[in-house]
Amino acid sequence: MNNKLLHVFYQDSLDAPTIHEYIESVERLTELISVQQTDILRPDISNSIYINENRIHIKPDWLDKRPAIIFPSEIPFNKNFFLGTVFGMLGNEEKYPQYFTGYPAMLFIFDVIQAITKGEEADNALENILSRSKFAHPFENYAFNHNVAIALNYGHYSNDINAEAIEAHYTDALQLAFEPSYKVYTLKYYATFLIDNGNSEGALKLLDEQHFKTLDDYPKYTLERVWCQAAMKQLRFPYDVELITELKDRLWETLQFFDKNGHKTMAAFLWMDAASIANLSNSYSESLGYINKAVTYFKNEGQDEMTAQAQIVRGRLFYDWAQSGNPQFYRKALEAYHEALSVFKKEEAPEVFAEIHHQLGVIYAELPDENKKRSIWAALSATSFSEALEYYNKVDFPYQFGMVCNNFANAYAKYPQGGRSDNFEKALNYYDEALSVRPALDYPTERAVTLLNYLEASWKAGNPDEAFNTERYNDMVAKVNEIKTLTNDQQLILETEKHLELLKELEKQIIAVE
């Protein structure tokens, strides 16, 4: 397919002269549009219009190139509506309105698309869509509910949108869709909505009710891709071997389809997922091959932000690889995260910026090197953790705050000791901060792990005048006893028992001295 911005297909050769006449009536429009005959729909091309039986048809976009709005099934083929549709598809918001003075429904649809595409407030566009309450055909009722769901889901509004309202419109649209391809189209976005809102289990259940093998290729693999996204969200340690095996098979088949058909951006997303799954299985070389493909594809497609996102996955891979006994990969992890930082700036993407610095703080603390350089790495680590905590504050992000504080404390326990400071004492302070946002009722396992870390640091923290610190001893005993109430994890219990035995031995020594 050539590099035109829009493709017009027709079936009846008698329509060709009229199409060319309409296009040529606008200066230089021919430079943007290709026109050709076809006997089939082309789901592999998003930016397309079909002319058939004196009607304009715009079919669902399976490649995520435009907002997922459904167009009317009966758009008359005349000059005004054709040119209005052309300029609307080209995103020319100055020109399409003048052609739709007699067709407000199309005007409102393109207004919603523009608002979503540009990230502008969509209140007026949504109000216009909602103003329509009578439908002459069941398809119109379906399209109305689908479009309202998409507008609410992806638009920006002056007031918060109720998630239940979005789900209600998706559900109604699914029930009203009588054409399989349109039902699948709505299902794709409904399942994605559920995943984005933390209900990947609900998305999987919804998708598993579908008979994928009976679908055409593009609808089928589009749903398969969403199924894979939902399944990945379900992965928890210890990992379900059957789920991972099924996920690998379905992901690979889906990846091969999009890659073979030249959809490199979609393939890159799937290569990135494949890398993450291989990493979970400790197949680091395999994972590296996959993530390098994702990086290459995103770069070639000019997707700078997604290239940086893939670099974050690459950084995580190298860190895990280093942790498995290959410390040479710590520096590779640093390189990947710094590549990502060249795109995710603090001002434009503060959350991603903070998370990258969180990971950098961890890596710098563990970087093996001679003692002189370790002090430099420790300083860089502390700076990165501070950057992360500047965004992940205790009030707005308590869970993330606790995670960063716990890891900052772990890092302090690894930093080389300075002459005038007690890094273990600083570690205890950060463990206390982490514990303050990890209540037993909400985060029992995370709290137990932090308490164990606290105990480790407590043994190494300095005591005044090297005397027995009764207050610290009692504090450690209390924390040991608390851990027992938080978890049944055998490894954590075993570690706790070791601390208890050491504390009992210490108590005997103190009594003997007295």
What's 286-337 look like in SS3?
Answer: HHHHHHHHHHHHHHHCCCHHHHHHHHHHHHHHHHHHHHCCCHHHHHHHHHHH
What residues contact residue 76 under an 8 Å CB cut-off, 6+ apart? 54, 55, 56
User: Is the distance from CB of 7 to CB of 51 less than 8 angstroms?
Assistant: no
**What is the block-wise mean pLDDT of the chain (514 residues), using blocks of 10 residues?**
87 96 96 95 94 96 95 94 98 96 94 95 94 85 96 95 96 94 96 96 93 87 96 86 93 97 96 94 95 97 96 97 96 98 96 98 94 91 98 96 98 81 90 97 95 94 70 92 92 92 84 64
Q: What is the pTM of this model?
A: 0.86
28: left (phi over 0), alpha (psi -120 to 50) or beta: left
- Residue 467, pLDDT score: 66
What pLDDT, on a 0 to 100 scale, did the predictor assign at position 277? 94
Separation of first and last alpha carbons in the chain: 89
For residue 420, the model assigns a pLDDT of 53
The pLDDT of residue 65 is: 92
Beta strands 48-52; 6-10: pairing state: parallel
Determine which helix (DSSP H) or strand (DSSP E) holds 35, and give its type and residue range: strand 33-37
| pLDDT given for residue 425 in this prediction | 92
